[in-house]
Structure 1
């Protein structure tokens, strides 16, 4: 069996596991891997040569794997993985700008954000059902039956673990744009920015805030996994709040460094997902702007793309050439 003839020949592959009516809306190449993006899913394609690069085994197949059950119709996918691909495409960046590493991190970030969203939706759905199940029996026996999160409380803790991981990935994106890997990432990031971005006080403040968020969420994650005497992270179950009102589940952090008084769990999970994605978008927009190079006398910029010109509706920003008629998107 001529392995070179097999590997070099043209071929096609049908993507399995597509929902009825789904279409492939884009392709993303990261290193030797190919990602097929559909409306409601993302599929990773590994060609036989990436599995068996020395071409020893002619039986090695091309592989496909559905890695996400959300696709380009999802805000989560659009504002992380697809956004990173769209804004980083083109040969318009300095050599130190490691696009492959940035894309790999964006996929890891998307995985975390999807996990966070699943935890949020479990709590949201349970809240909706639970609040309608309150059994007020005071007219019969002076009692009231309250709902309880029970085992679903673990979704609150899992959410904050993934939140902490997400912010570390966002900081790693900063270093990927400079083609570096560092330890002690919080201190090193602050030191690097203060020395290399002195001309941009706004960005320095943004990075300081990003690092502070990262430290806080790491502290909360540590308290979930390793509570201390007098310091802890707690999911508070449904409680009677007086005046015929039931309080939904809340979370509370008792911490010397980053305390948080009890606040509504569902509401803040939703806010934190959006904040995480917004911070990622803001960071990558700035880094792309700083790393752009002039091409044939033209100066490209990071710009908000008008809705009618976007390839993906939820991807707001891209590389474009400013013109008198508005942005001319790259590619």
Structure 2
């Protein structure tokens, strides 16, 4: 079966849910076999089928930091038979889908800012009138972005539940507390989780503010505006809440930073969780190592199980 453009190579395969998915450098495709559509084979004319599910592939940092890092760690065999690797992969893909939507929104905001900045610089003021540009549906798009961010973090929290149980309350703060209790003295892990929990809480507060606006709990979103100094400001966003303040900043900058931060948080958190939960039956000092760039099968997948032999990284497998 030829998948997608023949000019773009297939770089990998992963099972997500009950379907095989093919990764290419620029896309991900779901494969459905005829037997899956018609298990009894009542119609011999039912074909195998393929469907593009994402317009990003193994050449994307987002795919590398989420789905491919998850595949490399969760399918390693070092987490024990009790670990639900299938569910972990599914949640990783859910996070990736939301991060991809966020990335697309951030790109649109960034491109429009660049285009409008160029256009405005060439605009001539006539009769003391200046035509301000406008970002269509900026409030709705910001709301969708924040909701996607929350969904991506919810998927990551679900992975945490596979390691530490699904009864944890208090979202990432509760998860960080449980990790502090179980890994007492592990300052690096505990410190990372504490910082991650604060960030995740700020995103949950932002989501609540945008969905349940109150006078002192709100997200402020402004379209293009002109300052008294005759400077054009791009769309801006700010969060006002008694427990979290996000100072006003360009929407394009905010969406770009949040997307990258969640992708980095996902990558580092699953690496920490895997390294601290190696199955005892392995019998080797196995941990998660950061691979040198010349040892990576994909430049965006830097974590793997392995052994740190006095500073020399020996990857598993």
Partners in 1 of 2:178 and 2:193 — Cα distance?
10
Offset at residue 91 of structure 1 (A): 1.9
CA change 1:329–1:194 in 2 (3 A) is closer
Partners in 2 of 1:206 and 1:50 — Cα distance?
43
Of the candidates 294, 298, 306, which is equivalent to residue 312 of structure 1? 298
In our comparison, the structure showing a higher alpha carbon Rg is 1
Offset at residue 324 of structure 1 (A): 6.5
Q: What are the Cα deviations for residues 209-255 of structure 1, in whole angstroms up to 9, with x where unaligned?
A: 32332222122112222212343212211112233321111101222
Residues 301 and 319 in structure 1, CA contact (< 8 A), matched pair in contact too: yes
CA change 1:156–1:296 in 2 (3 A) is closer
Q: What are the Cα deviations for residues 92-112 of structure 1, in whole angstroms up to 9, with x where unaligned?
A: 223333211111110000000
Residues 216 and 242 in structure 2, CA contact (< 8 A), matched pair in contact too: no
Secondary structure in 1 matching 2:93: helix
Of the candidates 169, 182, 188, which is equivalent to residue 167 of structure 2? 182
CA change 1:44–1:240 in 2 (3 A) is same
1:34 and 2:34 correspond? no
Alignment of 1:96-107 (within 5 A): 96-107=82-93
Q: Which residue of 1 aligns with 2:112?
A: 126
1:14 and 2:20 correspond? no
Query: Per chain length, whose mean CA-contact separation is higher, i.e. which structure has more relative contact order (CA < 8 Å, sep 6+)?
Result: 2
CA change 1:63–1:184 in 2 (3 A) is farther
Offset at residue 61 of structure 1 (A): 4.8
Structure 2's unaligned 5+ residue stretches are none
Normalising by the residue count of structure 2, what TM-score does the alignment of the two structures yield? 0.89
CA change 1:291–1:47 in 2 (3 A) is farther
CA change 1:81–1:143 in 2 (3 A) is same
Of the candidates 256, 260, 275, which is equivalent to residue 274 of structure 1? 260
Q: Which residue of 2 aligns with 1:89?
A: 75
Partners in 1 of 2:215 and 2:260 — Cα distance?
33
Partners in 2 of 1:88 and 1:81 — Cα distance?
10
Structure 1 window deviating more from structure 2 (112-121 vs 36-45): it is: 36-45
How large is the Cα RMSD of the aligned pairs? 2.4
Partners in 2 of 1:292 and 1:307 — Cα distance?
24
Q: Which residue of 2 aligns with 1:56?
A: 40
Residues 120 and 155 in structure 1, CA contact (< 8 A), matched pair in contact too: no
Q: Which residue of 2 aligns with 1:3?
A: none
Secondary structure in 2 matching 1:312: coil
Q: Which residue of 2 aligns with 1:290?
A: 276
Q: What are the Cα deviations for residues 190-211 of structure 1, in whole angstroms up to 9, with x where unaligned?
A: 4422322223233233223323
Residues 239 and 247 in structure 2, CA contact (< 8 A), matched pair in contact too: yes
Partners in 1 of 2:189 and 2:163 — Cα distance?
15
Secondary structure in 1 matching 2:299: coil
Structure 1 window deviating more from structure 2 (69-78 vs 194-203): it is: 194-203
Secondary structure in 2 matching 1:308: helix
Partners in 2 of 1:82 and 1:100 — Cα distance?
14
Partners in 1 of 2:253 and 2:10 — Cα distance?
34
Partners in 1 of 2:310 and 2:202 — Cα distance?
45
Secondary structure in 2 matching 1:92: coil
Offset at residue 136 of structure 1 (A): 5.3
Of the candidates 98, 102, 121, which is equivalent to residue 116 of structure 1? 102
Partners in 2 of 1:325 and 1:222 — Cα distance?
45
